[in-house]
Amino acid sequence: MMLALRDVSSGYGPVTVLRHVSFALAEGEILGIVGHNGMGKTTLLRTLMGLLKTASGTIELGGQSIETEPAHERSRRGIGYVPQGEQGFPTLTVAENLQLAVAMNPPGRPLTMDDVLALFPRLRPLLDRRSGALSGGERQLLAIARAVMRAPRLLLLDEMTEGVQPSIVEEIAERLVALHAELSMSLLIVDQDLAFVAALASRALVMQKGMLVKEVSSTELIQSNVLGGFDAL
Ligand SMILES: Nc1ncnc2c1ncn2[C@@H]1O[C@H](COP(=O)(O)OP(=O)(O)O)[C@@H](O)[C@H]1O
Ligand SMILES: [Mg+2]
């Protein structure tokens, strides 16, 4: 297994948000996590990345326990994270943003700038542009490219389609398929756009109030109202 969680709980100070979360993601799998706002999806990714402490339970990456490792160590071991609303450094250029992604926390085997630009050709003509001047969709592609520079084995993606035009949502989906196919990257995709998740993942887990309550196929994601039975907060 690429990733295996058993009975993981976490939260903020005295407030428990994630409750007894267990699931596994196979090597090379693309898995979706869906759920209404406030259900704990971002909290799950922050806990996986080590930005929030695991209160109880275990997290294994490639069979090794990582739940007590700090974020930089999890990153070194191959977890990449594109946070919700990631902005990068808006006053720096696209090229500088890409270089800094590696400089700040060098992995064992970073990709070259050319490798990453081959995967994200839309960024090439934008290299000298300040990232703060990019469109929402371009910024999202840059955020993914920054994570990919560090050659992760498993990439955690939080709300990649939020505030992005449909034409770029399609391009983001295509680029993620390419990462998966060409770099054998496993993907954990959190998104409110169920069609986007269904286009990429063969199955998804539904999160409600900090718990994973159901597994659905990609067909069920688009054909039935999978969140319908679950109240929004
Ligand atoms: N920094 C924080 N401090 C305290 N509570 C938080 C914090 N961030 C999120 N929460 C709470 O945790 C719950 C889950 O939030 P979140 O993981 O962001 O959900 P989602 O990503 O599914 O929208 C919500 O009730 C939210 O208010
Ligand atoms: Mg969120």
Q: How many structural domains comprise the chain?
A: 1
Counting from 1 in the atom list of ligand 1, the atom nearest the Cα of 210 is 14
Residues with Cβ within 6 A of ligand 1? 12, 15, 17, 35, 37-43
Distance between Cα 160 and ligand 1 center (Å): 18
CATH code at position 29: 3.40.50.300
Residue 68 lies in a domain: yes
Tokens of 141: 């592609």
229 or 147: which leads in pLDDT? 147
- d(C-alpha 188, C-alpha 156), whole Å: 5
Give the closest ligand to the alpha carbon of residue 158: 2
Residue 76 lies in a domain: yes
The radius of gyration of the chain's CA atoms, rounded to the nearest angstrom, is 17
Q: Which helix (H) or strand (E) holds 137?
A: helix 136-149
Tokens of 52: 């929030």
Provide φ and ψ at 140, rounded to 5°: -65, -40
First to last CA, the chain: 33
What digits encode the pLDDT tens for the residues 180-230? Answer: 999 899 999 999 999 999 999 999 999 999 999 999 999 999 887 788 766
Counting from 1 in the atom list of ligand 1, the atom nearest the Cα of 46 is 17
What residues make up the domain containing 178?
A: 3-223
171 and 13 Cβ atoms separated by less than 8 Å = no
Residue 57 lies in a domain: yes
Best substitution site from 34, 42, 45, 206 to test ligand 1's pocket, by max atoms within 8 Å of Cβ? 42
> Which sign, positive or negative, has the C-alpha torsion 185, 188, 191, 194?
positive
Residue 230 lies in a domain: no
How high is the pLDDT of residue 110? 78
- d(C-alpha 192, C-alpha 173), whole Å: 14
How high is the pLDDT of residue 233? 53
Distance between Cα 8 and ligand 1 center (Å): 16
What digits encode the pLDDT tens for the residues 68-105? Answer: 999 999 999 999 999 999 888 999 999 999 999 888 76
Residue 143 lies in a domain: yes
Residue 135 lies in a domain: yes
